[in-house]
Structure 1
Amino acid sequence: MAYRNPFTLALLLCTLLPFAALAQEDTIRVETLTFDSITTRRGVWVFPDDTHTYRKVLMHHTLKCSPLTTQDQYNCGEWDYLTYSFVYDHTGVLDSNALTHPAYLVGAQAPSSVEALSTQLWDTQLYEVNRRTVLSTQNEDTYVLGMGNDTEAGVLSANAGTTRSQYLITGSELMATGMMAGDIEQLRLTAASAGAAPLDRLTVRMKATTSTQLSVFHETGFELVYDDQPGLLGQDAGVHSLVLVEPFSWDGSSSVIIDLAATRAASGTTSSLVGTDAGPDRGIQVTGTDGHVLLNNDHIALDPGPAATLSDAITVTFWAYGDASLPVNTSAFEALDADGRRILNVHLPWSNGSVYWDAGDDGSGYDRINKAANTADIKGQWNHWAFVKNAGIGQMKIYLNGNLWHSGSGMLRTMEGITRFRIGSAGNGNNPYRGRIDEFNVFAAEVDGATIAAWRSREVDATHPFASDLLYSLHFNEAAASFTADNEVNAAAPGWLMGTIHRRKRPATERNMNVQNVTVRPDITFVQGDFTTQMDPAQLSEQLPQSTLTREIFAVQGNATASVDTVFSWPGGWSYTYAPDGSAV
């Protein structure tokens, strides 16, 4: 038989040396993969002489345990004792075997049917809190902090969203009010103006501190002293009392930090509090909306146009909160070229618990660095990741929570030709990421470690040092009914929510992005005394939007299937009320 076509050799792990023997016993050797071909799994090698026929083709393998392997830290792994090889002779003739493809996909799933609605349903989540009520007062003493010569507009500004504020009150300020050491039973705030609706929830936490200034949120050491719906606070002007569920014991000299976290689902006019300018370094605050997306068998399809301009350098940053089911095989994002070759990819993680960063392809394979992750790195909490490549100097890096976590050198493959870019799955929809993603940014540059650390808790905007290199910036703060993720740097290149993606907001107590320094502190009246009180359980509720429902429609075009339409809707069915333990009631 005569071979005159190139053949493709696909294998798992091996080094090959095929040769052809001519009729006159001449031997021609064609070198394919070598010991340096660590991550290459497939290639095309053309026979060197198309004027002869070949009666025999021999393929020689040599297996070697190499320290250059990237799959793990061992020279010899579980697959190094064998190899599989597949040789293809491409005839160019279409096979007659029947092919099947779903008529539509919902994310990565192909359900036999779906029930769709033209309006979005909302569920109700219940929360259990303790409520302390004053039945009678034997005596009380009040101590006012503040002069009442200003107004504080941030605490009550939750407008279909949340706010979080922390204030430092020095021990000398507390002593100046005349308050003595002992239990603080109540806090009183005075609203300077009326608003459209009261707060749905206010959480107050307090702690003693030795800090002399505030610049970032304190997250530990607090006592929960109040967590309830605070009556008409946020709607009515005047004095509003907060009866602490647990009195706060003040030692008579220590400084105190008070954390106020407010939630209001309604929109409209917001109220303000009577306050006093306390000067710098005494208050910090976040307001507005802090949304994110919750993914399972879904993805966000990015317009590939901006990514097609990538070449030598890239930085991808985002926050991730992995589901409890991890580690399983996932791709936090992947970008492919027109031939389906991987240009960018992050496994966060793979089923072995390792994080993989792949970037660049020259036709023979992609560059990769990887490292085993701790459980807390991949699930159960928010973590900030940054994946960096500079092919010009051959460097790839991974940053975790602002710190360099892993790096590799000799990575020279560039990143041209992206035609598909997905967040939350592989480029073909496989390996869906399970968890939450927020603040997804892509720069066409190597962002330095100091800038990554400085901006990890800030929304990227025009003041970022690498703003001119920004290709995508997705904050996920859109309305619950929106099917797009706005690209703040290029409105014409958004992301599209594909599948059944849930939009969620961070609880007020967990807000820590875009912290602003504030000087006006709300005036607070501290109440001590003797009271007869009653403790009762109470329930608060929160409305949560159900997921989107996006169907990608396919049709046969020629000898292949193609995506021809996208239908946006919401799942049909019921709205549910969930108990505090998560069970439907």
Structure 2
Amino acid sequence: MVRYLLTIICTAFSISFVLKLNAQDTITVQTFTWDSVSRNAWFAFPDIPTSEIERINLIYNMRCHDAAVGVGSVGCREWDYSCNTFITDTTRFDSVLANQKKYIIPNYTESDFYYSNSATFNCAQYVQKNASYSSLSNAINATIGIKNSNISFKDKDGRYFYLFKAVDLLNGGLKPGKMPALKWNASKPGSLSFLKINLKNTNDDVLDPTKADLNSATEVYFKNTDFIAGVNTLIFHKEFNWDGVSNIQLELSFNLNKSNSTPEIDAFNAQNLAIGSTEDTWSLAQTGMFGLNLPPQKMSSVADEISISFWANGDRNTLPVNTSFLEGVDKQNNRQINIHLPWSNSSIYWDCGYTGGSYDRIEKASSSSEFSGQWTHWTFTKNARTGIMNIYKNGSLWHTGTGKTKPISVDRMNLLSNIDNQLSYYGRVSHLSIWNKEIDSSTIQDWILDPGNTNHPYYNSLLYYYPMNQNSNQTITDVAPNPATIQNSDFINWYKETGRNRISGYSSISELPVTTFVQGTPIGYKVEDINAVEEIPMMKIPVTEFEIEKGAPKIVNRYIVYPGGDLLVKDESGMIVDFKTTNYDGIFTQKDIRYQRFSPAKFELLSLVTPYGNNLDLGIEGKTFVFDVSDYAPILRNSKRLSIENGGENQEELDIKFQFIKGKPAREVKEIQNIYAFQLAWFPDIISSKVMEQRNLVLDNRANSYKIRSTITGHEQNGEFTSRSHFFNVIGSKSSQKFDFTVWKECADNPIYPQGGTWIFDRAGWCPGAASDVHEFQIGHLGDPGTTIKIDYGLNGANLDAAKYLISSQLVSYGPSAYALDAGIESIVRPNSERVEFERFNPSCSKPMVQIKNFGTTDISSIDFSYFTNSGTIYTYSYSGNIKPSEIKNIELPIQNLEIWSKSTDSIYTVKIDKVNQKEDDNPRNNLALSKFKFVRIFDFDPVFELRTNNVARDNSFRIKDMNGQVLIEKNNLPAVTTTQENLMLPDGCYTLEVNDASDDGLSFWFYPNLGNGSVAFKKKINTALATIQSFKADFGKGFQFDFVIRKTTDASDLEIPLLLSVSPNPAHDYIDLKISSNKLNQASIELLNATGNLVFHKKVSKQNSDFNETISLENLRPGLYLLKIKSGTQEYIKKLVVE
């Protein structure tokens, strides 16, 4: 039969510091609750003078969403995030050392920017191909078309597509196979600059200007070409292989011909076999400027489905960098739509739909040719009902994701930048359209150049269509139903598209060139590279000039200019190959303007990191922390904004209360002020004082003592997992002192365990699921009230590149101590069942433990305690020691038996300070504390303790103590993969099991699968078998403590000889160590029997001190099962032994 015995918890609402806690003594302010949607709101705090507040407790409860076990998006969320609690006081101000550039010039980092007020041109170098052969064997010349017209390339540039039918090719004599050239007859000579010919096999029977294939053809010819009057042979630098059954699509493009002498080519008339773009066409160019505000009214119809489609040509000289092509947010400013095209890692991200603190996302790595240097058509779709998100490239599925069911709600949206204009796009864009419907691949391909056509099958679902081909200064026209034209107060950069870059302005034409396709085997075939320079227009650049006015940057001028001076000439790969000197009208010389940026004062009340949520169960009532935030009394008054920030605010449900305990404080908090505004700072910036520079502060003249309190947590790979020494250097009117401290926290003893991730790894100042460390330094001796002190924060040691720190720091000013002699109870550590900080010590039936703080000015040398439950017995204890002013010490309070717990009927434990230093305490209000308690496990039999180690030798140890702390059995350095069993034949009483792991990784940890798995359990002997009746999770980190009670049906006085029997190792190889602990046993007989019952070892032993200790050799024994018998008088104890 298994029973349970009480052990105590100190609930946040049960904490008491007075003999009688009346309703008027404590005010509780409820803020966020489990069902709160927001983590940022205003709350009314009591307007009580700091002289009348004895203490303020922050009662912080968190539980998994809906009290469910964490897995993915159910229950506690998977990852550990910073989760910082702030109070913002808008009547005070913080300042941060800030740097403002005199000029903001997109994508320019040099010191001097040469500019021109008129248009400038640069050059780009391309590699053209010059192919030749000396002769052609087995030549075939298949001429398609009979001349009845001319194609006159009068335009300065153009792009054409021609379709040659397979039947005509076969009739002309062409055969399946490779062709190295084609021939055109020119009736008039001329030149075509950057002439490019692309060929492809196609099943298309007609060419439609709404869906021309602009990307999939193979380049066969690229060269500045002079045409003579007569036949011109264009030799391919890559032979084209005709499959013999498909039609051939021929794409021809050329650029501006400065000589204005263009050839005329023989042509023939045909319908639906040719399209071209020759009129001026434009695209919208983004050079890192502010984005465009999309008129949002039509986005209200987007909920479950969306498609966003466009052409993009990224700037290959800039990308990849962190970009945002567009971003939409909801009314709470949560991201609902976002496209990174790309991110700096060259991956493309598609985010869509937000709920529950996160958004749906798919991503895929890409190559530079996909996002820069050429036009690519992209379509991003989502269907929240099916859970599918897709990315299409040039009409074909490129990436997909499933299980993406978060709904979409867009209130504001920016094009070509993120919502706050901090991330921009770099490149050109055209034909942008948005639907409230998921568009499929075939529809994308069919309308890739004309998505706004009224015949489009999803036209009724088209919300926006911006062709972006209008070259108007301040408007971008929407040609979708109910148009929402974008009005831009700034200029719009329109870029004229020419030649091979044309993607707009296509129409049907009726003329095809009379073309002779050449087949045969080239003799002496060779291809040479030719560097050719192409002139390109420079885009207009916005230059914004700033000055600092009233502590804030202010725009004083905005210039729209062209780059001038020496311009870099680059090749196709982005390598610099030359420079070009252009005229310029002036120079913008960059400089840094350093200033203090002011904002409403934000005070960090608590730094906590959320636990790893997978498989985590925080229970129906969650886990509760209690924090003393009395230092913040000056600002926890009247209406204040409370916020939870930095990413973890929605990982769990939160319930946060403030408990104001009225009374005279031991030291009144006169003032609290931020030394530095809370901020995230990189290691090199701290070292160089770019941030966290030396500060001058005035010591409050109403106070007489002062301290620095600071919480610092390290992040990024180096910052999180590297211990570093930090410091505050203080220079006052009396003296100076450097306070060095290490930001490093042990995590393997975390009270919330086990967790789903790497929770056991030590970190810089924080652990998953725990409050961060607070560092405090007394500085009152360094300066007089009313004088100025200098405080400088910094780091010691070598630079860490990938390290940044969240830094909170305050100067707290106190009035004089109210009491000379004042001992107060801070907390009941054990027993305690409601405060998660003490969960590793509970449940407990052993000595209670209390935290005592010296609130007075006199050293404490003795304290008289009384403590009790309603069991009837009052225990007393006199502590002797030394507790300095402001020091906190843990004190154990002895108990004689279990009656204090077992006979309690209300589960309340009370502890009281009666005297301090043999006299009455000056302040009795903090001399009483109460707590609830729970039952520990009761065994009504002699349990067997069993520990099986994993693959690590000498890593584990355990010991069992009685309620007075006496060690009854202890085993250290246990061997690997070994089971140790202890028969606990003990008298009734309370016992404590302590299991430890030297490597801080328990008996099992997912990160180290090669270490294997161990186990810990209590077992009960049932006939000849052992049944597990209490097991423990093997992922326990540093160790664990378990209190239990043995209360057998037979009174302890009836037990003939209570003893502890220990045999190790078991299984054994060469020997066993036998230990028998008993207060009554003086002599014993040891027998070892094999599986057939034959005696193989016998020895009589006598007590040595309080124990029997015997080493038995097993060298001559065969492997197998043996029985070990201990006989004394009429009693006999049997234990199984395995010899390997």
Counterpart of 2:559 in structure 1 is 567
Picking from 440, 444, 447, the partner of 2:437 is 447
- Cα deviation for residue 302 of structure 1 reads 1.6
- Cα deviation for residue 568 of structure 1 reads 0.2
Equivalent-residue separation in structure 1 for 2:308 and 2:577 (angstroms): 39
RMSD (Å) for aligned C-alpha atoms: 5.3
Please tell me whether the aligned partners of residues 161 and 263 of structure 1 are also in contact (alpha carbons under 8 angstroms): yes
**2:414 matches 1:384:** no
- Listed as ranges, the gaps of 5+ residues in structure 1 are 1-16
Counterpart of 1:129 in structure 2 is 128
Structure 1 SS opposite 2:266: strand
**2:361 matches 1:370:** yes
Counterpart of 1:162 in structure 2 is 158
Instruction: Return closer, same or farther for 1:334/1:474 CA change in 2, 3 Å cut-off.
Output: farther
Picking from 443, 449, 452, the partner of 1:458 is 449
Please tell me whether the aligned partners of residues 284 and 469 of structure 2 are also in contact (alpha carbons under 8 angstroms): yes
- Cα deviation for residue 384 of structure 1 reads 0.4
Write out per-residue CA displacement over residues 449-502 of structure 1, whole angstroms, 9 at most, x where no aligned residue. Answer: 149625662144463654896456153675xxx97684454666248569xx89
Counterpart of 1:299 in structure 2 is 289
Please tell me whether the aligned partners of residues 359 and 415 of structure 1 are also in contact (alpha carbons under 8 angstroms): no
What TM-score results when the alignment is normalised by the length of structure 1? 0.68
Counterpart of 1:146 in structure 2 is 145
Counterpart of 2:327 in structure 1 is 334
Write out per-residue CA displacement over residues 23-57 of structure 1, whole angstroms, 9 at most, x where no aligned residue. Answer: 444645333465x96xx7x4114248889998524
Equivalent-residue separation in structure 1 for 2:381 and 2:329 (angstroms): 17
Counterpart of 1:187 in structure 2 is 182
Counterpart of 1:91 in structure 2 is 90
- Cα deviation for residue 142 of structure 1 reads 5.6
Counterpart of 1:400 in structure 2 is 392
* Letter of the 2:566 counterpart: W
* Letter of the 2:255 counterpart: R
Equivalent-residue separation in structure 2 for 1:396 and 1:254 (angstroms): 38
Counterpart of 2:407 in structure 1 is 411
- Cα deviation for residue 265 of structure 1 reads 1.4
Equivalent-residue separation in structure 1 for 2:223 and 2:309 (angstroms): 36
Counterpart of 2:30 in structure 1 is 29
Equivalent-residue separation in structure 1 for 2:223 and 2:32 (angstroms): 73
Higher RCO (C-alpha under 8 Å, 6+ residues apart): 1
Counterpart of 1:76 in structure 2 is 78
Equivalent-residue separation in structure 1 for 2:567 and 2:505 (angstroms): 34
- Cα deviation for residue 188 of structure 1 reads 2.9
Please tell me whether the aligned partners of residues 395 and 409 of structure 1 are also in contact (alpha carbons under 8 angstroms): yes
- Cα deviation for residue 202 of structure 1 reads 2.1
- Cα deviation for residue 387 of structure 1 reads 5.3
Structure 2 SS opposite 1:567: strand
Please tell me whether the aligned partners of residues 336 and 421 of structure 1 are also in contact (alpha carbons under 8 angstroms): no
Write out per-residue CA displacement over residues 546-569 of structure 1, whole angstroms, 9 at most, x where no aligned residue. Answer: 343211234556664444542100
Matches within 5 A, 1:146-545: 146-150=145-149, 156=153, 159-170=155-166, 172-177=167-172, 187-191=182-186, 198-206=191-199, 209=201, 211=203, 213=205, 217=213, 222=218, 224=220, 226-232=221-227, 239-245=230-236, 257-266=248-257, 273-280=265-272, 282-283=273-274, 285=276, 288=279, 298-303=288-293, 306-307=295-296, 310-313=299-302, 316-320=308-312, 329-334=322-327, 345-348=338-341, 353=347, 355-357=349-351, 368-375=359-366, 379=371, 382-386=376-380, 399-401=391-393, 402=395, 403=397, 405-406=400-401, 408-411=404-407, 414-416=409-411, 418=412, 421-423=414-416, 425-433=417-425, 436-439=427-430, 441=432, 443=434, 446-450=436-440, 453-454=444-445, 457-461=448-452, 463=454, 466=459, 470-471=463-464, 473=466, 475=468, 478=471, 486-487=476-477, 489=479, 493-494=487-488, 496=490, 505=497, 508=500, 520-526=511-517, 538-545=530-537
Structure 1 SS opposite 2:296: helix
Instruction: Return closer, same or farther for 1:49/1:269 CA change in 2, 3 Å cut-off.
Output: farther
- Listed as ranges, the gaps of 5+ residues in structure 2 are 1-10, 16-22, 579-1140
Structure 2 SS opposite 1:373: strand
Structure 2 SS opposite 1:230: strand
Structure 1 SS opposite 2:291: strand
Equivalent-residue separation in structure 1 for 2:414 and 2:391 (angstroms): 22
Please tell me whether the aligned partners of residues 290 and 421 of structure 2 are also in contact (alpha carbons under 8 angstroms): no
* Letter of the 2:158 counterpart: T
Please tell me whether the aligned partners of residues 140 and 173 of structure 2 are also in contact (alpha carbons under 8 angstroms): no
* Letter of the 2:40 counterpart: G
Counterpart of 1:115 in structure 2 is 114
Instruction: Return closer, same or farther for 1:189/1:440 CA change in 2, 3 Å cut-off.
Output: closer
Instruction: Return closer, same or farther for 1:398/1:129 CA change in 2, 3 Å cut-off.
Output: closer
Equivalent-residue separation in structure 1 for 2:421 and 2:102 (angstroms): 15
Structure 2 SS opposite 1:453: helix
Equivalent-residue separation in structure 2 for 1:20 and 1:204 (angstroms): 84
Please tell me whether the aligned partners of residues 19 and 29 of structure 1 are also in contact (alpha carbons under 8 angstroms): no
- Cα deviation for residue 176 of structure 1 reads 3.2
Counterpart of 1:549 in structure 2 is 541
Counterpart of 1:58 in structure 2 is 58
Structure 1 SS opposite 2:101: coil
Equivalent-residue separation in structure 2 for 1:295 and 1:317 (angstroms): 17
Instruction: Return closer, same or farther for 1:439/1:246 CA change in 2, 3 Å cut-off.
Output: closer
Equivalent-residue separation in structure 2 for 1:303 and 1:248 (angstroms): 49
Equivalent-residue separation in structure 2 for 1:517 and 1:367 (angstroms): 48
What TM-score results when the alignment is normalised by the length of structure 2? 0.39
Write out per-residue CA displacement over residues 171-205 of structure 1, whole angstroms, 9 at most, x where no aligned residue. Answer: x42343356889866533245778xx732022234
What is the number of equivalent residue pairs in this alignment? 527
- Cα deviation for residue 88 of structure 1 reads 1.7
Please tell me whether the aligned partners of residues 166 and 260 of structure 1 are also in contact (alpha carbons under 8 angstroms): yes
Instruction: Return closer, same or farther for 1:219/1:327 CA change in 2, 3 Å cut-off.
Output: closer
* Letter of the 1:475 counterpart: M
Equivalent-residue separation in structure 1 for 2:467 and 2:140 (angstroms): 51
Larger-Rg structure: 2
Instruction: Return closer, same or farther for 1:477/1:271 CA change in 2, 3 Å cut-off.
Output: farther
Percent of aligned pairs with the same residue?
17
Equivalent-residue separation in structure 2 for 1:96 and 1:530 (angstroms): 78
Structure 2 SS opposite 1:409: coil
